[in-house]
Each structure stands twice: as C-alpha cells, then as structure tokens.
Amino acid sequence: MAKPVVKKEYTLGERIYLLEILKGMALTWRHFVFNVKASFRPEPHTVPTCWQYPEDRTREISPIFRGLHMLCLDEKGREKCIACGTCAKTCPAHCITVKKGKRKEGEEDKYASKMYCASFDIDLLHCIFCGFCQEACPKEAIVLGREFELAQYTREECHLDKQKLLANYRKAKEEGKLRPPRKAVPVVKPPPKPEAGAPKTTEGKAGKPAVAGKAKKGQVEVKKAAEKAKGAGKAESGD
Amino acid sequence: MNQDPVSQNDQERLGELVTINIGPSHPAMHGTLRVVTVTDGETIVKAEPEIGYLHRGVEKLGESLTYHQFIPITDRLNYCSAITNNVSYEMAVEKLMGIEVPEKAQLVRVIMMELARIADHEVCVGILGVDLGAFTPFFYLIIQREEIYEIFEWYNGARLTNTFGRIGGLDADLPDDFEERWRELKPNLRKANEETEKLLTHNRIWMDRTIGVSAFSPEDALNWGFTGPCLRACGVKRDLRKDETYCMYDQFDFEVPVGKNGDVFDRYKVRMIEMEESIKIIDQAYKLYKEMPADAPLKARVPKVIKPPVGEVYSALESPNGELGFFVRSDGSNKAYRIKIRPPCYMIYQAFNDLVKGEMIADLIACISSLNVVAGELDR
Amino acid sequence: MEGWVIAIIKVVFIWAWVLLIATVMTWVERRGAAMMQDRLGPNRAGPFGLFQPLADGIKLFTKEEVLPKKAHKVLWSLGPLLFALPAFSAYAVMPFGDKIVLGGKEIILQVSNVNIGFLYILAIGSLAVYGIVLGGWGSNNKFSILGGLRSTAQLISYEVPLGLALLAIVFVYGTFSLRDIALAQQGTFLGFLPNWGIFKQPLGFILFMVAIYAEANRVPFDLPEAESEIVAGYHTEYGSMELGLYLFGEYVNLVTLSSLIVVLYFGAWHIPYIDVSKFLGPVSWGIVSFLIFYLKVSFFLWLFVWVRWTIPRFRYDQVMGLGWKALIPLALFNLFITALFIQLAA
C-alpha cells in the first residue's frame, strides 16, 4: 500500500511565498477597514454579522420556529385540547403525558370539547423539539412557540405542566407571537375508483400506498378545499 | 479499526517510539474522535483510531421507534447536513413501500439537500483552515452557513436538526420568501468561496501543507470503500447523483469534480468546486419548481400508520461525505425490524492508519479535517 | 549619584511603557482579529473593550495555580520566569528616542548605550528558548515536550539567518552600538532615498523579518504552541499567572523585536527628508522623537497581528527546510554582496 508520490508544481509567484501572502493581506485589510467603519455605526448593529444577543433582540425569529410548547385556547377562551393522546403517541422522545378528564355540566365555557386534558405534562429535558406533536394534533391545541430561552436552574423548572403551557399561550398571545395556522401540504389525489362490477383489484383498498403512489403526474389532481387539506393533514400525520 | 501490529523493525526501536494519545478531547478532534498515535519524533509510525465515544445506539433506537419517529433521530447522524440524512432514510422507507414521491416534492428535496451540502462543505473547508492555522476563512464561510440555516429555519422552524420531510413527501412547501433569500445568498456564497480561495489556494504555505499530504491511490480508496469527495479526490469519478440517479438529479446539468492525487489539497479543491456546482443545481431545481403549478401535490398518499410490507431494502444517496445508505428490514409491523446505517465516514475512517502513516503529527490533523469525519455519523 | 537616579528613572519608565504596550497589544490582537473576521471581538470591558486586558490580568492573578502531579516543580516554575525575564531585559540596550535636555543635562533616550548592543540582544534573545524548553519538560506532558522541542529546533535554526542578516548591517554601519546605527540613518541615500537600513539592505530586511517571526513564535511559525496540533504546546499545563507570564512575555518580545526592526531598518526616530530636530527645542524634540519611534514600532506590531490572521501555519519540517535551505544561503549571499559593495566603495 505504497502511497502515491505527488510532484509539487508551483508557479514562480507561488514559489516565493510573499506575493500570495501580500494578496491575502490585502483581502483581510479590506475586511478590516470595512468592519472598523461599520463599528462606528449606531448601536445595536455595529458589525453587520454580529448580534449583541442578550441586549439586542431584534433578530427576527421564524414564526414557525420550534421552541417552547403551549396549549392553545380557541376564540372563546376555551381549551382546544380533547385529550386524544395522539401527541403522546407520536412523540419520538416519549416526553408527553396526557390524562383525560370529562367535562362536567357548566364547564362549557372552559373546555371546547366533551373531553379535556386533566393534566398535560411535557418533560423538556427529554423533548427534542421535532414538532411532531403539533403536526399530529387534530385540534391544533399543542403548538411549539417562538420562545427559545429554555435554560433553567432546576429539573422541576424544566417540567411543563398544564398551567405553564396555558401561561405560555397567554404570554405568546400578548406579545403577538402566536404561530400562524399550519398549512397542510397538498397530497396526491387517490386514483378513480374502479367501476362497479369490475373485478376487485388492490386499487380498491383505500390507502394502499403501493398503488396510490403510482399515480402519474398527469393524473394527479389536487385537493384544494381547506377541509380536504385538513383531512389530509390528519392522514399524513404519522402514527 | 486497523489492527496491524507495529512492524518488526519498529518493535526493535520500541524504546524510541512515543505513544501519543490524541483525543477524545483535543482541539482538532471534531467532537470525540480519538487516535492513539505511535510516533517516532514527529513522524507517525502507527495511528489507530478508536471509535465509539459518541455511540448512542441509533440503529437500536430505530427498532423501538415507529417509522416516522425515527426521522428526528437521523438528524443526529451527520449534524452538519441533517437534511440529507432525513431524505436518505425517507427514501429507503419509500422504496420499501413502493411509494412514488411527487415531482415537486423531489425538487424541494433537491434544493434543500444541496443547501445542506453547501453548509456541510463550508464547515469542512473552514475547519480544515482552522486546523492548519488559517483562522480567518472559517469565519467568512460560517457566516454564509448561518444564512443557509436561516432558510432552513423559515422552512420548518429548525436550524440544525431539521427533521425535514416525511415518508412519502414533505411536511411543508418552500417558504414564500425563499426566492428572495436565495437571490441574496447566492452572490454572498460565491464571494465567501472566492475569498477563501484567495486566502488559501495559491498560498505556498497552504500548498506545502496540503499537496501530497496523505495522498491515496484510487485502487486503495476503492478497496477501503471510500465514497464521496474523498474518493473523487483520488480520481475516481463516482457520484451517486449521476451514477444511480435519484430525486430527478438526472435532469440537472452539473459537473462532478475529480481530483488527481487524493491528497488533502484535492479533497479541499473538490469540495470547493462541489459547492459551486450545488449552487448551479439549486438554480436549475428552483426554475423547475417555479414551473410547477402552485397547488401541485407535495406528498404521496401514505397511510396514517406506516406498515411497510415484509421485506428489506437498501437505499443510498450522495451525502456531502459520500454514500449514505439506509438498510431497512420490515416485518410488517409499524416498527422496523432492523435499521442499518451505512455512513460514509465509517468506511473512510477505517483507512486512517494507511492515510497518515509516515506523515507528521501536523498532517494527521490536516488529514482528519479533510476527511470530514463526523463523530455523530461514525459512532451512531 | 545623579547618573544613578536618571538610570533608574529610565529603567522604570521604559519598563512600564513596554508593559503598557504589551497590554494594549493583547487587546489590539483580539480586536483586530475580530475586525478582519467580520466579528466584534471583546467589547464589554470599558469603551471598545479597552479594559479587557485588565480584566484578563485580574482573572489570571486570582486563578488557582495548578501543578500537575508528576511535574518537575523547580523547572515548572522556572519556565515562565526564564521566558519573561529576557524579554524584558532585552530592552536595556534599545534606544527609544534621540535625546532630551533637562536642566542643561543631556540625557540619551536609551537605558544604556552599550557598544556591543547587538550581541547583547542576540544573547538575551536566545535565552528565551530555555523558558520554553524548561516549561515543556517540567510539565511532564507529551504535547508540552513536543512543543518545547519544536521551539528549540526552530529558534536555533532561525538565529543563524537572524545573526547573518545582522552581520550585514554591521558591515554597513561599522558599529555594534544600536544608538550609533540609529544616528547614522539620518539624511538621504544615493541622493533621493531616505538613509534607512531597508534601502541599503532590502534582502537583509526580508530575511530579518522572516527570522524574527520565527523568533517570536508567531504565525506562520507558531509551531511550539500550535493549538490544533499539540493543544497549546509548551504551556498546555500552565494556568493562572504562570500562563500569564508566557502570554505576556510573547507580547513583550514582539515589542522588542519590532523596536529592533525600526532601529535597524526604518531609521529609528528619523523622518525622511526632514530633520525635525532643527525646528524643535531640545525637550520637545526628545518627546517627538520618542513618539515617532513608537509610531513606527506600532506599525510593525500591527503587522504581526495582520499576518497572523491571514496565513496558515507551516509544518515542522517545512520550517526547518525554509530556515536551512532558503534563508541561510540567502543570508550568506546577502552578506557576500554587502561585503563586495563595501569593498568596491572603499
């Protein structure tokens, strides 16, 4: 396993070191001058690429940033969550625990549905912020917000219970940092159903992916209606 | 791991040899690599890489998580280009299930994967500079990488661990401001690359440090299972994007750069050119994307619970480091029976002893940076 | 008695002054690097982060001294001292201005005008290598030893071209005294060039520059402390003020070497074509010459920073190759040419 011997071929300019070094120095000098000039600009953005983070919070964070979780309320201020537990099942880190509760008489202004979550716990130390819970949620109740400063001193503080989740929502609403509603991606339309009486083929079985996926580009039609898209959102949202 | 013993001649001189333990905590060991080096003065007699410091049981996790739940875990393989890992895994499951991903989704995948490739190469080249003492290019490159991450953040809300795409398609469409961002980013990317080249490529100190260092012949590279830029630097023109095309890569016009000597300089150069080619691919892909109707599907019909038919599949794509493959075996349940990952680094890192034998300690550092060994991918 | 007082004042003054420059240099280095790399650099302590060196100093002083279990205690503590002391004492023969007249007494701005100033600086400069080697050996760490060994080989190899380049200067000026050399650089050379060493010794200047970069362990010759290869080289194990002495000694070294360049090649306190001393009184000329001198020095200090953040690092064998295969033959050639010219001119 002898190593190949490499012949070094240099041009004269490369051989004498200094020429290329001077060129490089000219380049760093240009950067230096530019940045020195820039550093005399008014605060907070002196040098264009630097954010003076704890003081300077002007950096725009994506509205769909996957940060701290929250439990959403609907327009009437009722809890959206129906305690179906899809989020807990979907979570790859198994960090969500949901307990069901049944709505009693006179609590209609508190909970949107007959079922509600008696407790909703998220262990932030386990969470990997993949966003699967919000994608799986049929009611868009659990949502990942824009809050990203999650360091705490104790383990207890890293544990989100229902009250904290609701408080996160109220805080985000106050600051106008609510996540825009999720746009479901358009899904390939299922192929037309076989005519009645025709021999039953595998195509008939709805959702058999091996066939459904074979729809060619030309045949593809798109679901436009929002309800349909929402339904698709359910279908796609994994197991 | 290379087990070949110190040769007889070396044994006799064993009193003169020094064993230096480079890593797992060492400034140039990119995370937690470790090389047990036997040196004669500064010349390396033997370098034995030891792996496993970042072992997290990723493959085993794949057996206890459902098919969708495994996607975020693949982010953590090569964390410099998480999107490529996601897509590679998704492609494997899609192949197993016989799903055909809509064209528009494939285009978005191409765009995002090429962005990830640029980000990965920028980190690699930047770190190579840092390890050879040239600190400045690193910053020029890393600033542009931040801008790429900005695009990722606006796409689905995460910068590093993207969890991009779902089995059968995508989780979101390209953001509306993608075109604007890309138009701004493109010249900056080119400028950063140009400046890096200006500072390094023709500088004799850089050339001396890289040309001929850890050179590798194409036969050896193939025997060791090299893929990606490291193989292409040896002069073997193999790129899965061209050879075993996927995701509509056959429709794009791009060059596959090839080196000559397989040394550090060629690897650096191949990566620099690949970045330029990636920019071209993104342009073409985005043009095709724009031609598609706005409501074209982005996802194939996929059942709610993914249960692939019994069987096994291997699917690979060209990740920034080389061939990244996923072997998935299904027993018909909603969890994989076995997931095996074929990371490019693992094969490349095996040859480390042969790569650096006879070189000096400083070259070992240059070599390990130019191979772009990512511990997350290596140990899994 | 009076002579003693003046000498002590001069010593204290120049010691404090060099210390001050070295302190500011740590700030300039970090801030300058940041500006070249599109970053901000230290900007928290004081205006523009100017008090950062102070904060660093306090931090280093108050940190615990950690002695590795198997370190050689004597050599361990001797290392930083031997590194920092020569760096300071080299300034004893360095002129830092012309002269100042106070109360009818002429005071030359130089701690002592030794007629073998040259040899003194070379000798003291060579001592610094002991600090590095002892520190590397005393740490009982393989990386430290490698760093120490690299530095030995490097410093010794580069002292040869350094000495040969200086010898050519001695040929030209015919004296070993630094002050005499500085004084000799007034006026013009060949009628239109400033009478500076660089125009008489262009090749010698380049050789000297390269050699002092190696002497100062700066990029591209910072092999003894190459952080990506051997962690931090000879000071891997050091902490607290012992590390501080190493870092500080390096900057003091830079000041000394930059001053040497200015004295030998850049006309010390002279400004080309104009004799400023004619327009100024004896006191103000002394101050102005001092300022001019340090203006020039600061340029070379900046050059050290500038080069460091532009180019990569050599490899050990390449440094040796450059030293022995390129610089020494060139230095000998330079010496030969210089001798030839002097012989022809005579």
Query: What ipTM does the predicted assembly reach?
Result: 0.85
Sequence-distant (≥ 6) Cβ neighbours of residue C272 within 8 angstroms: C188, C194, C196
- Residue C162 above 60 pLDDT? yes
- Residue C129 above 70 pLDDT? yes
pLDDT given for residue A207 in this prediction: 41
- Residue A232 above 70 pLDDT? no
C-alpha span between B225 and B323 (Å, rounded)? 10
Averaged pLDDT for residues A183-201: 65
Averaged pLDDT for residues A154-183: 85
Q: Using the beta-carbon criterion (under 8 Å), do A32 and C32 form an inter-chain contact?
A: yes
B256 class by beta-carbon count within 10 Å (0-12 exposed, 13-18 middle, 19+ buried) = middle
Q: B301-356: per-residue pLDDT in tens?
A: 888 888 888 889 998 888 888 888 899 999 888 888 989 998 888 888 888 888 88
What number of C-beta contacts closer than 8 Å exist between A and C?
Answer: 43
Give percent of chain A with pLDDT exceeding 90.
0
Q: A75-110: per-residue pLDDT in tens?
A: 888 888 888 888 888 888 888 888 888 888 777 777
Q: B287-303: per-residue pLDDT in tens?
A: 888 888 888 888 888 88
Spatial strand order in the sheet of B322-330: B311-319, B322-330, B336-342
Q: Which domain holds residue C198?
A: 70-345
C91 class by beta-carbon count within 10 Å (0-12 exposed, 13-18 middle, 19+ buried) = buried
Residues facing A142 on adjacent strands: A71
Q: Using the beta-carbon criterion (under 8 Å), do A52 and C310 form an inter-chain contact?
A: no
Long-range pairs for C127-131 at CB < 8 Å and ≥24 separation?
C127/C82, C127/C86, C128/C82, C128/C83, C128/C86, C128/C87, C128/C155, C128/C249, C128/C253, C129/C155, C129/C156, C130/C82, C130/C83, C131/C78, C131/C79, C131/C80, C131/C81, C131/C82, C131/C83, C131/C84, C131/C86, C131/C246, C131/C249
Chain C positions in Cβ-Cβ contact with residue B21 (cut-off 8 Å)? 142
Phi, psi of A60 (to 5 degrees): -80, 130
C-alpha span between C230 and B39 (Å, rounded)? 13
Q: A101-134: per-residue pLDDT in tens?
A: 888 877 777 777 788 888 888 888 888 888 888 8
Q: Which residue has the tokens 């070992």?
A: B364
C-alpha span between A202 and A228 (Å, rounded)? 24
Q: Using the beta-carbon criterion (under 8 Å), do A39 and C309 form an inter-chain contact?
A: no
pLDDT given for residue A208 in this prediction: 42
C325 lies in some domain: yes
Q: B143-197: per-residue pLDDT in tens?
A: 899 889 989 988 888 888 888 888 888 888 888 888 888 998 999 999 999 989 8
Q: C166-183: per-residue pLDDT in tens?
A: 888 888 888 888 888 888
Chain centroid to Cα A114, Å, comes to 29
C-alpha span between C208 and C159 (Å, rounded)? 10
Question: CB-side exposure of A34: number of CA atoms within 13 Å?
Answer: 13
pLDDT given for residue B6 in this prediction: 53
Nearest Cα to Cα of residue C289 among C304, C264, C257, C267: C267
C240 lies in some domain: yes
Burial A109-125 (b: 16+ CB within 10 A, else e): eebbbeebbeebbbebe
Q: Is A61 on the interface with C (CB under 8 A)?
A: no
Sequence-distant (≥ 6) Cβ neighbours of residue A106 within 8 angstroms: none
Sequence-distant (≥ 6) Cβ neighbours of residue B244 within 8 angstroms: B316
C-alpha span between C248 and C53 (Å, rounded)? 10
Chain B adjacent subunits, 3+ CB pairs under 8 A: A, C
C-alpha span between C169 and C185 (Å, rounded)? 12
Averaged pLDDT for residues B230-245: 87
Residue B276, phi-psi category: left (phi > 0), alpha (psi -120 to 50), beta (remainder): alpha
Chain B positions in Cβ-Cβ contact with residue C218 (cut-off 8 Å)? none
Q: Which residue has the tokens 């094969």?
A: B347
* For testing contact with chain C, the best of A29, A35, A36, A45 (most C CBs within 10 A): A35
Q: Using the beta-carbon criterion (under 8 Å), do B26 and C231 form an inter-chain contact?
A: yes
Q: How many of the other CB atoms lie within 10 Å of CB of C303?
A: 16
Q: How many of the other CB atoms lie within 10 Å of CB of A238?
A: 23
Q: B212-226: per-residue pLDDT in tens?
A: 888 888 888 888 888
* For testing contact with chain C, the best of B22, B29, B33, B42 (most C CBs within 10 A): B42
Write the residue in C34, C38, C306 that is nearest to A25 by C-beta.
C306
Written as six digits, the tokens of B165 are 């795409």
Q: Which domain holds residue A135?
A: 69-175
Give percent of chain C with pLDDT exceeding 90.
2
Written as six digits, the tokens of B306 are 């993914």
- Residue A227 above 50 pLDDT? no
Write the residue in C227, C311, C316 that is nearest to B360 by C-beta.
C316
Q: Using the beta-carbon criterion (under 8 Å), do B304 and A20 form an inter-chain contact?
A: no
C-alpha span between B350 and C90 (Å, rounded)? 52
Nearest Cα to Cα of residue C167 among C328, C297, C323: C328
In chain A, the number of structural domains is 1
Query: Do A168 and A147 contact (CB within 8 A), yes or no?
Result: yes
Q: Mean pLDDT check: name the lowest of A138-142, A206-210, B272-276, C159-163.
A: A206-210
* For testing contact with chain A, the best of B69, B301, B305, B357 (most A CBs within 10 A): B301
Q: What beta strand segments (E) does chain B contain?
A: 18-22, 34-40, 43-50, 311-319, 322-330, 336-342
Question: Is the torsion defined by CA of B232, B234, B235, B238 positive or negative?
Answer: negative
- Name the residue in chain A with its Cα closest to that of C207: A18
Q: Is A231 on the interface with B (CB under 8 A)?
A: no
- Residue A239 above 50 pLDDT? no
Q: From the CA of C317, how many Å to the nearest CA of chain A?
A: 16
Q: From the CA of C36, how many Å to the nearest CA of chain B?
A: 7
Q: Using the beta-carbon criterion (under 8 Å), do A8 and B153 form an inter-chain contact?
A: no
Written as six digits, the tokens of B95 are 């192949």
Q: Is A97 on the interface with C (CB under 8 A)?
A: no
Written as six digits, the tokens of A236 are 């796609």
**More confident call, A190 vs B325:** B325
pLDDT given for residue A23 in this prediction: 87
C-alpha span between B258 and B254 (Å, rounded)? 13
A25 lies in some domain: no
Query: Do A236 and A187 contact (CB within 8 A), yes or no?
Result: yes
C43 lies in some domain: no
* For testing contact with chain C, the best of A10, A15, A20, A25 (most C CBs within 10 A): A25
In chain C, the number of structural domains is 1
Which secondary-structure segment (H or E) carries C107? strand C105-110
Q: Using the beta-carbon criterion (under 8 Å), do C312 and B129 form an inter-chain contact?
A: yes
Averaged pLDDT for residues B109-133: 90
- Amino acid found at C115: N
- Residue C240 above 70 pLDDT? yes
Q: How many of the other CB atoms lie within 10 Å of CB of A140?
A: 17
- Residue A210 above 70 pLDDT? no
Query: Do C33 and C41 contact (CB within 8 A), yes or no?
Result: yes
Mean of the per-residue pLDDT values of chain A: 75
Q: By three-state DSSP, how is residue B254 classified?
A: coil
* For testing contact with chain C, the best of A19, A20, A39, A41 (most C CBs within 10 A): A39
C53 lies in some domain: no
Tell me how far CA of residue B189 lies from CA of B181, B196, B202, B277, C231, in angstroms. Answer: 12, 11, 20, 12, 32
Q: Which residue has the tokens 């109220």?
A: A170
Write the residue in B130, B200, B208 that is nearest to C228 by C-beta.
B130
Nearest Cα to Cα of residue A66 among B40, B87, B161: B161
- Name the residue in chain A with its Cα closest to that of B72: A130
Q: From the CA of A165, how many Å to the nearest CA of chain B?
A: 19
Find the radius of gyration of the CA atoms of chain C. 21
Question: Residues in chain C, how many?
Answer: 346
Q: Is C81 on the interface with A (CB under 8 A)?
A: no
Alpha carbon dihedral C173, C177, C182, C188, in 10-degree steps, equals -20
Q: From the CA of B289, how many Å to the nearest CA of chain C?
A: 35
Chain C positions in Cβ-Cβ contact with residue B28 (cut-off 8 Å)? 228-229
Q: Which residue has the tokens 């542009």?
A: B144
Chain B positions in Cβ-Cβ contact with residue C233 (cut-off 8 Å)? none
Q: Is C302 on the interface with A (CB under 8 A)?
A: no
Q: Is C310 on the interface with A (CB under 8 A)?
A: yes
- Name the residue in chain B with its Cα closest to that of C218: B133
- Amino acid found at B311: G
Q: From the CA of B33, how many Å to the nearest CA of chain C?
A: 14
Q: Using the beta-carbon criterion (under 8 Å), do C39 and A21 form an inter-chain contact?
A: no
C-alpha span between B139 and B125 (Å, rounded)? 11
**More confident call, C57 vs C103:** C57
Q: By three-state DSSP, how is residue A83 classified?
A: coil
Q: How many of the other CB atoms lie within 10 Å of CB of B299?
A: 26
Q: By three-state DSSP, how is residue C341 classified?
A: helix
Q: Mean pLDDT check: name the lowest of A45-54, A84-93, B337-346, C36-45.
A: A45-54
Q: C273-310: per-residue pLDDT in tens?
A: 777 777 777 778 888 888 888 888 999 999 989 988 88
Which secondary-structure segment (H or E) carries C331? helix C328-345
Q: Using the beta-carbon criterion (under 8 Å), do C312 and B132 form an inter-chain contact?
A: yes
- Residue A195 above 80 pLDDT? no
Phi, psi of A105 (to 5 degrees): -60, 140
- Residue B21 above 50 pLDDT? yes
- Residue A49 above 70 pLDDT? yes
Q: Using the beta-carbon criterion (under 8 Å), do A144 and B302 form an inter-chain contact?
A: no
- Banded model confidence at residue B118, pLDDT cuts 50, 70, 90: very high
* For testing contact with chain B, the best of C39, C310, C311 (most B CBs within 10 A): C311
Q: How far apart are the first and last CA of chain B?
A: 16
Q: Residues of B numbered 141-170 whose beta carbons fall under 8 angstroms of chain C's beta carbons: which are they?
A: 143
Which secondary-structure segment (H or E) carries A144? strand A142-144
pLDDT given for residue A196 in this prediction: 54
A117 lies in some domain: yes
Q: Using the beta-carbon criterion (under 8 Å), do C38 and A35 form an inter-chain contact?
A: yes
Q: How many of the other CB atoms lie within 10 Å of CB of C111?
A: 20
C-alpha span between A142 and B109 (Å, rounded)? 27
Written as six digits, the tokens of B191 are 């400028």
Query: Do B279 and B190 contact (CB within 8 A), yes or no?
Result: yes
Spatial strand order in the sheet of B43-50: B18-22, B34-40, B43-50
Q: From the CA of C145, how many Å to the nearest CA of chain B?
A: 11
C-alpha span between C300 and C259 (Å, rounded)? 8
CATH number, residue A160 = 3.30.70.3270
Averaged pLDDT for residues B273-282: 91
C-alpha span between B68 and B1 (Å, rounded)? 33
Q: Residues of A numbered 4-23 whose beta carbons fall under 8 angstroms of chain C's beta carbons: which are they?
A: 18, 21
Give percent of chain B with pLDDT exceeding 70.
96
Residues facing B35 on adjacent strands: B22, B49
Chain B positions in Cβ-Cβ contact with residue C316 (cut-off 8 Å)? 42, 360, 362
- Amino acid found at B200: L
Chain A adjacent subunits, 3+ CB pairs under 8 A: B, C
Query: Do A122 and A95 contact (CB within 8 A), yes or no?
Result: yes
What number of C-beta contacts closer than 8 Å exist between B and C?
Answer: 84
C178 lies in some domain: yes
**More confident call, C331 vs C226:** C331
Q: At what angle do helices B103-131 and B361-371 cross, to 10 degrees?
A: 170
Nearest Cα to Cα of residue B100 among A190, A211, A221: A211
- Banded model confidence at residue B245, pLDDT cuts 50, 70, 90: confident
Chain centroid to Cα A12, Å, comes to 54
pLDDT given for residue C219 in this prediction: 78
Sequence-distant (≥ 6) Cβ neighbours of residue C187 within 8 angstroms: C195
What number of C-beta contacts closer than 8 Å exist between A and B?
Answer: 188
pLDDT given for residue A237 in this prediction: 42
**More confident call, B62 vs A227:** B62
C37 lies in some domain: no
Q: Using the beta-carbon criterion (under 8 Å), do C310 and A32 form an inter-chain contact?
A: no
Q: Using the beta-carbon criterion (under 8 Å), do B27 and C310 form an inter-chain contact?
A: no
Q: From the CA of B229, how many Å to the nearest CA of chain A?
A: 18
C-alpha span between A139 and B380 (Å, rounded)? 36
Mean of the per-residue pLDDT values of chain B: 86
Question: Residues in chain A, how many?
Answer: 239
C-alpha span between C315 and C313 (Å, rounded)? 7
Give the residue ranges of DSSP H helices in B201-263: 204-210, 218-224, 228-233, 240-243
C129 lies in some domain: yes
Q: Using the beta-carbon criterion (under 8 Å), do B134 and C318 form an inter-chain contact?
A: no
